[in-house]
């Protein structure tokens, strides 16, 4: 999926204002302007559209984790330079404090069935023998399910 789409969907999901988005980035020690946020949220066809990089999305998701769960003791989490769907899925799972059963229920809201073992494969380390890449369709259905859960209207 495109980083800008994920940013747009998460913003809609939680009804974040521009100021809240700036605050979330700030929690990850990254300063953004309202203009940058606006450019990332535009559609690709818009001339003012700017691509949200993997690092910028990782910073947002790290800030979201801090916003939802609180700051973690110890060293600051460094943002990833390259994000995969598995990493995005994991960061959203952590931010929302979801268990496997919760995710299965959320996916069911989007009419997508997944078993616990299939789901756990997405959260394993890439070198694990049962690791599986999270395809766009899986992440899209998860975000759709979240939307149906948090913004059913």
CA angle 65, 59, 150 (to 5 degrees): 45
Q: Which two tokens stand for residue 46?
A: 């818009």
Domain boundaries, the chain: 3-69, 85-150
pTM: 0.92
**Nearest in space to 76 (alpha carbons), one of 88, 87, 65:** 65
> Would the CA dihedral through 75, 76, 82, 86 be positive or negative?
positive
Q: Please give the share of the chain, as a percent, with pLDDT higher than 90.
A: 89
Cα radius of gyration rounded to whole Å, the chain? 15
Residue written as token pair 């605050």: 23
How many Cβ atoms sit within 10 Å of the Cβ of residue 6?
Answer: 21
Share of the chain above pLDDT 70, in %: 100
Count other Cβ atoms within 10 Å, centred on residue 122.
23
Tens digits of per-residue pLDDT, 51-92? 999 999 999 999 999 999 988 777 777 888 999 999 999 999
Q: Mean pLDDT, the chain, as a whole number?
A: 94
Q: What DSSP designation does 112 have?
A: -
């Amino acid at each position: 999926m495109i980083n800008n789409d994920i940013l747009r969907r998460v913003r809609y999901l939680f009804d974040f204002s521009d100021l809240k988005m700036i605050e979330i980035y700030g929690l990850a020690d990254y300063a953004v302007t309202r203009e940058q946020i606006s450019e990332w949220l535009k559609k690709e066809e818009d001339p003012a559209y700017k691509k949200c990089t993997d690092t910028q999305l990782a910073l947002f998701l790290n800030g979201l984790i801090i916003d939802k769960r609180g700051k973690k003791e110890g060293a600051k989490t460094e943002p990833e330079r390259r994000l995969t769907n598995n990493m995005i899925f994991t960061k959203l799972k952590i931010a929302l404090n979801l268990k496997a059963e919760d995710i299965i229920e959320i996916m069911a809201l989007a009419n997508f069935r997944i078993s616990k073992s299939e789901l756990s494969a997405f959260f394993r380390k890439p070198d694990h023998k049962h690791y599986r890449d999270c395809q766009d369709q899986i992440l899209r259905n998860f975000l759709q399910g979240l939307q149906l859960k948090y913004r059913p209207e």
